[in-house]
Amino acid sequence: MIDLRPKQIEDLCELKQYCGELGAELVIIGACAYQHHFSNEERFTSDIDIVGAFELDEFFELEKRLQYAEWSQESPDEPHRWKSKNDSYIDLIPAGERLREQKKVIWPDSGYKLTLVGFDHVFELAEQLELAAELTLRIIPPKVLMLLKIIAFMDRPSRSGKDLPDIRGILERYEEGNTERFNSDVVLGAVLPDVSVVPAFLLGLDLRALCTPDERKVIEEFLSKMQQEEEHWPEFVEARPTSSDNPEETVHEILDAFNKGFTDSN
C-alpha cells in the first residue's frame, strides 16, 4: 500500500484530469511502486514518480496547465520535477510512443536527458491500483520495477543511493510467499545454495523472459559492474542490513542466483 497524504491524492487527481484531457495515461513507477509491492518494509519517499504516455509537445501543453494551476518546476536542471500548490513533489516523465522508440527524452531548453530504455513494459504490464475512493492509477509490477531500477543506476551511477538499496530489496524479496514457484521443478533443478536466494533466481528467470536485447545488455553490464573490485561494490553490500557474518559472500550468492536465472536456464 502506498502511504499518501490527502493533499497528495488531491494533486494526483488534478494531474490525472489534465492528462486525461490530453489523452495520456499515467503509470506509477519508482519508490512508490516499491512501497506498494513491499509494503511491510520501511521505505519512505517524499516524491512520486509518474510516467505519462505523451510526446514532448503534449507535455509542454500539460506544463501550461500545471503552471496555471500554480504548480512549479523545482529547477531548470531537473525539468521533470514538479512541486504542486500543496507542496507535493512529483517527478513526471514524458514517454509517448515516439519517445520510447528513440529510447530517450531530451528537454530542448536545458538539454536534460533521461533514458527510456525499458519503458515499453511500463505501459504493457502496468496493473490497476486504487489509491483512494476517487483515484485509480496504474502501477508497474516488481519485475519491471527491477528493470527500471537497474537501467536508472547504469544511466546515472551518481544516484546509486536511491537505486542500489531498492535493487537489493527486490533481489531478496521477489515473489516471497509464492510457495508454488519456490517449490517448482525449475527451482529444485537449479541446485541453489540456500532458499534465501530463490527470489533472486526467480527474478532472473522473469527478466530473461521479459527483456529485449538492449535491455538484456544493460543487465549484463550491471552484473559485470557489481564485482568486488568495482567502486560501487561496497555500497551495494552495505545497501541493506544482513545478519550474515560474511555480507560480501551473501551478496555474491544473491547475484550468482540472479545471474543463473537470467543466463543459464532454458
The one-digit pLDDT tens for each residue of the chain (266 residues) are: 688 899 999 999 999 999 999 999 999 999 999 999 998 776 656 789 999 999 999 999 999 999 999 999 878 788 899 999 999 999 999 999 999 999 999 998 888 999 999 999 999 999 999 999 999 999 999 999 999 999 999 998 877 678 999 999 999 999 998 999 999 999 999 999 999 999 999 999 999 999 999 999 999 999 998 986 678 899 999 988 888 889 999 999 999 999 999 997 54
Non-local CB neighbours of 20 within 8 Å, separated by 6+ positions:
none
Residue 185 lies in a domain: yes
Quote the pLDDT of residue 6. Answer: 92
DSSP 212: -
CA–CA gap between residue 142 and residue 36 (Å, rounded): 10
Region at 70 (left for phi over 0; alpha for psi -120 to 50; beta for the rest): left
> Exposed e or buried b for every residue in 222-237, given b needs 16+ CB within 10 A?
bbebbeeeeebbeebb
Statement to judge: residues 30 and 124 lie in one domain: yes
Statement to judge: residues 37 and 123 lie in one domain: yes
Statement to judge: residues 11 and 133 lie in one domain: yes
Statement to judge: residues 10 and 136 lie in one domain: yes
Quote the pLDDT of residue 266. Answer: 44
Statement to judge: residues 99 and 221 lie in one domain: no
User: Which of the listed residues 140, 166, 189 is the one where a domain comes to its end?
Assistant: 140
Residue 18 lies in a domain: yes
Q: What is the DSSP string of 170-217?
A: HHHHTTTT-HHHHTSHHHHHT--S-GGGHHHHHHHHHHHHH--HHHHH
Statement to judge: residues 48 and 98 lie in one domain: yes
Residue 1 lies in a domain: no
Number of structural domains found in the chain: 2
Contact 54, 96 (CB under 8 A): yes
User: Which of the listed residues 122, 140, 158 is the one where a domain comes to its end?
Assistant: 140
Residue 240 lies in a domain: yes
Contact 11, 86 (CB under 8 A): yes
Residue 260 lies in a domain: yes
Angle at 76 between CA 71 and CA 78, to 5 degrees: 85
Statement to judge: residues 189 and 256 lie in one domain: yes
Residue 17 lies in a domain: yes
Statement to judge: residues 65 and 95 lie in one domain: yes
Residue 43 lies in a domain: yes
192 CB neighbour count, 10 Å cutoff: 18
Cell numbers describing residue 67? 503552471
Statement to judge: residues 100 and 135 lie in one domain: yes
User: Which of the listed residues 85, 106, 140 is the one where a domain comes to its end?
Assistant: 140
136 CB neighbour count, 10 Å cutoff: 11
Non-local CB neighbours of 81 within 8 Å, separated by 6+ positions:
47, 73, 74, 75, 89, 90, 91, 92
Non-local CB neighbours of 4 within 8 Å, separated by 6+ positions:
12, 48, 131, 132
Statement to judge: residues 129 and 153 lie in one domain: no
Contact 145, 33 (CB under 8 A): yes
Tell me, what CATH number does 19's domain have? 3.30.460.40
Residue 30 lies in a domain: yes
Domain span at residue 227?
146-264
Statement to judge: residues 188 and 76 lie in one domain: no
Cell numbers describing residue 85? 500548490
User: For residue 87, with 0-12 CB atoms within 10 Å meaning exposed, 13-18 middle and 19 or more buried, which class applies?
Assistant: exposed
HSE-CB of 166 using CA atoms within 13 angstroms: 31
Closest alpha carbon to 3 in 26, 16, 34: 34
- Cell 534465501 maps to which residue? 196
Statement to judge: residues 198 and 256 lie in one domain: yes
Contact 181, 196 (CB under 8 A): no
